[in-house]
C-alpha cells in the first residue's frame, strides 16, 4: 500500500482504473438490421402502430459490443438478412414485435411505436415484463440490411 494514499482511496482509484479499462474495451459502435422500405411498410400493414411516435425501423443486433462481438458482425455488414416476426407486445407506453434473429439483445425486437415522452429503448423493459400483453402472430418475414455505425457522442 502506498504510504501517501489512504487504503480506501487507493482501492477507489484501482476500481476506477478497472472501470476505465472496461469502458476502453468497448467499441462505441451500434450494430443494427435496418428494415428495407418495403419491409417497413409491410410491418406497419401487418401490425399497425397504436402510439403516436412511430419507429418500425430496425432491430438492434449489438449496442456498444465487445471487440470480438463486433468482429463477428463485421462479416455480415452490408448483407441483407431475413427477419421473422413472431409476436406483438404492447402496453400503454410502447409497442414492439419480437423477431427471430441472432442478437446480443435478450429480446430481439423492433420497436413499432411509443407514447409521447417514452424512449424507444423502453421496448426492452416492455418485453422483459411478466405482465406484458404478448400476442403470437402468424409468422411473417421482413428483410433488413446489416449496418454498423458509431454511437452518437
- Measure the CA dihedral 110/134/92/53, to 10°: 20
- Burial of 124 from C-beta contacts in 10 A (0-12 / 13-18 / 19+): middle
Task: Fill in the DSSP letter of residue 107.
Answer: S
SS3 content of the chain, % helix, strand, coil (to 5): 30, 35, 35
- Assigned architecture for domain 27-150: Alpha-Beta Complex (3.90)
Instruction: Determine the Cα–Cα distance for residues 32 and 65; give it in Å rounded to an integer.
Output: 12
Q: What is the pTM of this model?
A: 0.80
Q: What is the pLDDT along the chain (153 residues), one digit of tens a residue?
A: 445 555 555 454 454 444 444 444 467 999 999 999 999 999 999 999 999 999 999 999 999 999 999 999 999 999 999 999 999 999 999 999 999 999 999 999 999 999 999 999 999 999 998 656 788 899 999 999 999 999 874
Amino acid at each position: 500500500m502506498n504510504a501517501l494514499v489512504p487504503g480506501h482511496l487507493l482501492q477507489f482509484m484501482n476500481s476506477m482504473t478497472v472501470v476505465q479499462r472496461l469502458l476502453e474495451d468497448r467499441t462505441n459502435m451500434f450494430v443494427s438490421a435496418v428494415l428495407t422500405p418495403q419491409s417497413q411498410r409491410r410491418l406497419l400493414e401487418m401490425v399497425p402502430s397504436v402510439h403516436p411516435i412511430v419507429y418500425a425501423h430496425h432491430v438492434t443486433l449489438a449496442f456498444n459490443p465487445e471487440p470480438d462481438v463486433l468482429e463477428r458482425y463485421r462479416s455480415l455488414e452490408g448483407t441483407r438478412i431475413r427477419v421473422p416476426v413472431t409476436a406483438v407486445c404492447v402496453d400503454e407506453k410502447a409497442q414492439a414485435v419480437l423477431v427471430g434473429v441472432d442478437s446480443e439483445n435478450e429480446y430481439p425486437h423492433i420497436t413499432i411505436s411509443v407514447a409521447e415522452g417514452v424512449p424507444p429503448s423502453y421496448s426492452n423493459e416492455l418485453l422483459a415484463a411478466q405482465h406484458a400483453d404478448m400476442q403470437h402472430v402468424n409468422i411473417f418475414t421482413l428483410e433488413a440490411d446489416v449496418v454498423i455505425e458509431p454511437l452518437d457522442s
